[in-house]
């Protein structure tokens, strides 16, 4: 949705010390740890921007704009997400910073096709290369293969990345509240609207949910991972989902190991559940998607 300050295992911020923290969480982090975390977060952003600057030099924004103008209009995922029952966003995910290699995925398009055949409402494609082994080439391959909406999942901090997403055929883009101030979040959401992209705005705390709602998020994800311990507590979703207003689509992220977890999220009000690791490790991703959907409707 990172090694030198690891991004997330499923969707948490792992700072590489066996725990996970959020800047400013002084309840569980000492002054030294908080300062260390800030330097780690700065390192994450520096790494992302370093890769970004290389891509900007290779492909000027004007060229991206031209490419984006030539791709088919973005698909709107919200009607499917608002349909009765639970929707699954199935993720193409090779590895994570905390767990290392998850699955050998030589053909991401084939995996995505299996997800779609199983009933996935959308496909998430990790495009961050250093920590998750993803790429824009993966996004291209998946977009060319499936007819359902495709999410670009990356650490998006710059408008250029949204132009990339659209030029490579993405229909949705992940925006993490934790990495964006209010002004930048609003600006990036505005550009998403301009480009036809649907932003999946991801929050980890009640304050971040509030900020996402204030920015006008229609598709709001809640991460169930405890950012101080890396433990997953799905009841966090139940606690925070009450902050999402009626009409917005509620996405549950992290902590899915099987169908019962999807059913639990659905019972707490999730319209959509994003699943990565459990699917790539399932051995039969098409059937697994179907089982998740069926369990939530039981």
- pLDDT given for residue 39 in this prediction: 45
The CA–CA distances, whole Å, from 85 to 104, 143, 194, 291, 295 equal 31, 25, 30, 13, 10
Cα(82)–Cα(49) distance, integer angstroms: 35
> Among residues 145, 104, 107, which one has the least CA distance to residue 123?
145
- pLDDT given for residue 18 in this prediction: 38
- Whole-prediction pTM value? 0.85
294 is catalytic: no
291 is catalytic: no
Q: Which of 128, 253, 264, 277 is catalytic?
A: 253
Does the pLDDT at position 2 exceed 50? no
Q: Which of 202, 208, 264, 277 is catalytic?
A: 202
202 is catalytic: yes
91 is catalytic: yes
223 is catalytic: yes
Q: Which of 20, 124, 153, 264 is catalytic?
A: 153
Q: Which of 9, 22, 87, 93 is catalytic?
A: 93
> Among residues 56, 197, 218, 225, which one has the least CA distance to residue 139?
197
Cα(150)–Cα(95) distance, integer angstroms: 19
Backbone phi and psi for residue 151, each to the nearest 5 degrees, phi listed first? -100, 130
The per-residue pLDDT for range 62-77, each reduced to its tens digit, is 999 999 999 999 999 9
Decide the pairing of beta strands 100-101 and 122-126.
unpaired
The per-residue pLDDT for range 137-172, each reduced to its tens digit, is 999 999 999 999 999 999 999 999 999 999 999 999
């Amino acid at each position: 949705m990172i090694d030198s300050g690891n991004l997330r295992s499923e969707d948490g911020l792992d700072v590489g010390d066996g725990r996970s923290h959020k800047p400013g969480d002084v309840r569980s982090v000492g002054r030294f740890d908080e300062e260390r975390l800030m330097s780690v977060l700065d390192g994450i952003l520096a790494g992302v921007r370093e890769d970004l600057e290389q891509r900007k030099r290779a492909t000027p924004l004007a060229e991206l704009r031209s490419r984006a103008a030539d791709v088919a209009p973005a698909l709107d995922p919200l009607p499917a997400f608002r349909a009765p029952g639970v929707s699954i966003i199935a993720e193409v995910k090779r590895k994570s910073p905390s767990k290392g290699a998850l699955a050998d995925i030589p053909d991401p398009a084939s995996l995505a096709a299996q997800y779609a055949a199983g009933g996935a409402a959308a496909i998430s494609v990790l495009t961050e290369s250093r920590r998750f082994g993803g790429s824009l080439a993966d996004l291209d391959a998946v977009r060319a293969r499936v007819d359902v909406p495709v999410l670009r999942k990356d650490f998006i901090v710059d408008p250029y990345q949204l132009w990339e997403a659209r030029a490579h055929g993405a229909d949705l883009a992940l925006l993490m509240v934790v990495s964006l101030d209010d002004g930048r979040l609003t600006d990036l959401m505005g550009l998403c609207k301009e480009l036809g992209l649907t932003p999946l705005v991801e929050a980890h705390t009640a304050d971040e949910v509030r900020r996402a709602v204030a920015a006008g998020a229609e598709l709001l994800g809640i991460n169930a991972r405890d950012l101080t311990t890396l433990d997953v507590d799905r009841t966090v979703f139940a606690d925070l989902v009450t902050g999402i207003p009626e009409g917005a689509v509620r996405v549950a992220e992290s902590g899915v190991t099987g169908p019962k977890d999807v059913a639990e999220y659905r019972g707490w009000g999730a319209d959509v559940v994003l699943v990565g690791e459990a699917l790539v490790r399932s051995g039969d991703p098409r059937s697994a998607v179907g089982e998740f959907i069926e369990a939530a409707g039981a």
